[in-house]
Amino acid sequence: MIEQTFVAIKPDGVKRKLIGKIISRFEDLDFTLKHAKLMNVSRELAKEHYVEHKDKAFFSDLVAFITSGEIFAMVWEGENAIEITRKIIGSTNCIKADAGTIRGDFGNELQKNIIHASDSLESAKREIKLFFE
């Protein structure tokens, strides 16, 4: 099934100039970039985006991190884009992420984990709307 998914290169990935390398991985999969923008995330948008984590102990750190610098927000389209994107970004914790995945190859931490991608069709629809409408 052709799907669209929301992907964001986080402030650590932007600062480390990883945008080009990360885009290549999606293009290698023959995915199509539908929307993209470099942007600052307001505290309001960060809280809404991460609402499912609002009761977690790390919530305030999460909001502080995602608002700490520019992110590169994108919408990618392709066959089974949501599941494949989750696979190529790797486990949330970069320390556990497999080599060959984006987090496994570029990250060293749990919170500063380079990239975010929608985890389901519902999240993708919600996040695309939140960042691009």
Alpha helices for 6-120 (secondary structure H): 11-15, 19-28, 43-49, 59-66, 81-89, 102-106
Judged by beta carbon, residue 61 or residue 79, the one nearer ligand CMP is 61
Q: How far is the CB of 88 from ligand CMP (least distance, A)?
A: 13
Structure tokens belonging to residue 46: 């960060």
Sheet holding 71-79, edge to edge: 32-39, 71-79, 2-9, 115-117
Stretch of 30-38, 78-86, 96-104, 109-117 contacting ligand CMP, by CB under 6 A: 109-117
19 binds ligand CMP (CB under 6 A): no
Structure tokens belonging to residue 20: 């080009």
Stretch of 24-32, 34-42, 72-80, 110-118 contacting ligand CMP, by CB under 6 A: 110-118
Q: How far is the CB of 113 from ligand CMP (least distance, A)?
A: 5
Judged by beta carbon, residue 29 or residue 62, the one nearer ligand CMP is 62
111 binds ligand CMP (CB under 6 A): yes
29: Cβ contacts below 8 Å, ≥ 6 apart: 78, 84, 88
Residue 116 annotated in active site: yes
Q: Single out the residue of 71, 85, 83 nearest to residue 33, CA to CA.
A: 85
Q: Which residues bind ligand CMP (CB under 6 A)?
A: 53, 58, 62, 92, 110-111, 113, 116
Q: Which residues are catalytic?
A: 116
